[in-house]
């Protein structure tokens, strides 16, 4: 797991050594920086050297989301990694440079997480508005209107996976053709070997999207080809990766950007993300009578302790909020 570092990292590490930092500390810094660099290259789907001045706040938020929700790192570990990246940013700032500057806007997670607030999930009206807009042409540019029929159902299927099945951003992005069994309405999640049973209408939505992909670039049945394929607006067709000899997998950053743009097109409030949709699913499912143990198996958490924040949220919200949330689960 080693990717190209910007040249200034060597100078930064040399400065740490000059300050008398222990070898074990420097190795820890290098591991964390290498891990971030690996994630960044994977997120951008490139093996080329990346200019760290181009790193966005959204990318950094997705990285920390990955540490917390996908890798399930404990809060102290995430705070340590946050500190490493923040110190690199401050080091470059003292030299008049801007690498990792969005770190100034990224707060570390609290040592103890309190209940979610209402902006962390969707009300029924918001959900209905988003789903209606996904299949409409409202707010589309002329360029988008010309190709909307290609990716319309893909986008709705992605949103449904978050909202109706509680999948994570990482799980959706990693889906391959071998993971979907159209004939059995099943979706296989590789990370923890669990099976999701799709509603018939959502299976049909997935198949309809699959058929909109032109045959020359269409992913192959039962293969490692990605299920969620990137769209090329310039060429007005789906991307093909000549390096991988398969359709190009849509990146996590692109999926998150798509959700944000659809939210904007639906004229909803800022801040709604894939995690917001997943939160809605988890809370609504608990309110509909599922136990935390049942939900742990359904969404792939490794332990019921992972449900504590959601359980405390259920206990803290009002009856009116619960009703709005239950309505959002239909």
101-148 pLDDT, tens digit per residue, is 999 988 887 766 678 999 999 998 999 999 999 999 999 999 899 999
Contacts 24+ apart (CB under 8 A), 253-257: 253/43, 253/44, 253/58, 253/59, 253/62, 254/230, 255/158, 255/169, 255/172, 255/173, 255/228, 256/58, 256/62, 256/169, 257/58
Quote the tokens at residue 117. 């607030």
Rounded to a whole number, what is the distance in angstroms from the first to the last CA of the chain? Answer: 43
Supply the pLDDT for residue 163: 96
Backbone angles phi, psi at 266, to 5 degrees: -80, 0
Give the pLDDT confidence score for residue 2 in this predicted structure.
52
Alpha helices in the chain (DSSP H): 8-18, 23-44, 57-65, 75-94, 124-134, 142-163, 169-174, 200-212, 252-265, 274-287, 292-299, 308-316, 319-327
What is the DSSP annotation of 221-281? Answer: TTSSSBSSB-EETTTTEE-EETTTTEEPBPPHHHHHHHHHHHHHHTTPPTT--HHHHHHHH
Instruction: Quote the pTM value.
Output: 0.82
| Across 311-324, average pLDDT | 91
Task: Check pLDDT > 70 for residue 303.
Answer: no
Q: DSSP state, 307?
A: G
Whether pLDDT at 42 is above 50:
yes
What is the pLDDT averaged over residues 210-224?
Answer: 96
The 10 Å CB-count burial string (b at 16+, else e) for 305-318 is: ebbebbeebbeebe
Task: Show Cβ contacts of residue 90 under 8 Å, excluding neighbours closer than 6 positions.
Answer: none
Q: What is the pLDDT of residue 329?
A: 46
Q: How many residues does the chain have?
A: 330
Residue 1 pLDDT more than 50? no
Hey, what are 167's tokens?
């999948």
Share of the chain above pLDDT 90, in %: 72
Band the pLDDT of 206: cuts 50, 70, 90: very high
What local confidence, expressed as pLDDT, does residue 330 receive? Answer: 40
pLDDT in tens, 54-105: 999 989 989 998 898 788 788 889 999 999 999 999 999 999 999 999 999 8
Q: List, in order, residues 6 or more apart from 4 with CB less than 8 Å away.
A: 37, 48, 49, 50
The values of phi and psi at residue 241, to 5°, are -95, 110
Predicted pLDDT of residue 145 = 94
Contact of 156 with 191, CB cutoff 8 Å: no
Residue 295 is predicted with a pLDDT of 86
pLDDT > 70? residue 205: yes
| SS3 per-residue string spanning 173-192 | HHCEHHHEEHHHCEEEEHHH
């Amino acid at each position: 797991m080693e990717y190209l570092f910007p040249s200034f990292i060597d100078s930064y590490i040399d400065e740490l050594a000059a300050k008398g930092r222990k070898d074990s500390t420097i190795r820890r810094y290098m591991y964390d920086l290498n891990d971030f660099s690996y994630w960044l290259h994977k997120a951008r789907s490139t093996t080329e050297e990346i200019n760290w001045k181009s790193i966005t706040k959204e990318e950094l938020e997705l990285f920390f989301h990955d540490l917390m929700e996908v890798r399930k790192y404990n809060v102290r570990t995430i705070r340590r990694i946050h500190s490493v990246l923040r110190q690199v940013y401050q080091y470059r700032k003292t030299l008049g440079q801007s690498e990792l500057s969005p770190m100034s806007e990224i707060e570390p997670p609290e040592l103890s997480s309190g209940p979610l607030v209402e902006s962390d999930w969707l009300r029924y009206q918001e959900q209905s508005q988003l789903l209606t807009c996904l299949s409409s042409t409202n707010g589309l540019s002329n360029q988008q209107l010309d190709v909307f029929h290609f990716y319309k159902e893909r986008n709705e299927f992605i949103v449904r996976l978050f909202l109706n099945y509680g999948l994570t951003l990482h799980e959706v992005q990693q889906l391959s053709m071998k993971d979907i069994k159209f004939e059995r309405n099943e979706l296989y999640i590789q990370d923890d070997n669990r099976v999701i049973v799709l509603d018939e209408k959502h299976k049909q939505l997935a198949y309809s999207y699959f058929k909109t992909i032109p045959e020359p670039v269409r992913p192959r049945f039962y293969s490692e080809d990605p299920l969620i394929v990137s769209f090329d607006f310039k060429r007005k067709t789906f991307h093909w990766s000549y390096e991988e000899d398969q359709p190009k997998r849509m990146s996590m950053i692109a999926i998150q950007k798509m959700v944000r743009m659809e939210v904007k097109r639906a004229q909803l409030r800022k801040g709604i993300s894939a995690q917001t949709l997943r939160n809605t699913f988890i809370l609504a499912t608990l309110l509909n009578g599922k136990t935390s143990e049942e939900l742990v198996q359904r969404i792939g958490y490794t332990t019921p302790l992972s449900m504590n924040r959601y359980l405390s949220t259920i206990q803290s919200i009002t009856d009116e909020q619960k009703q709005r949330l239950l309505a959002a689960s239909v």
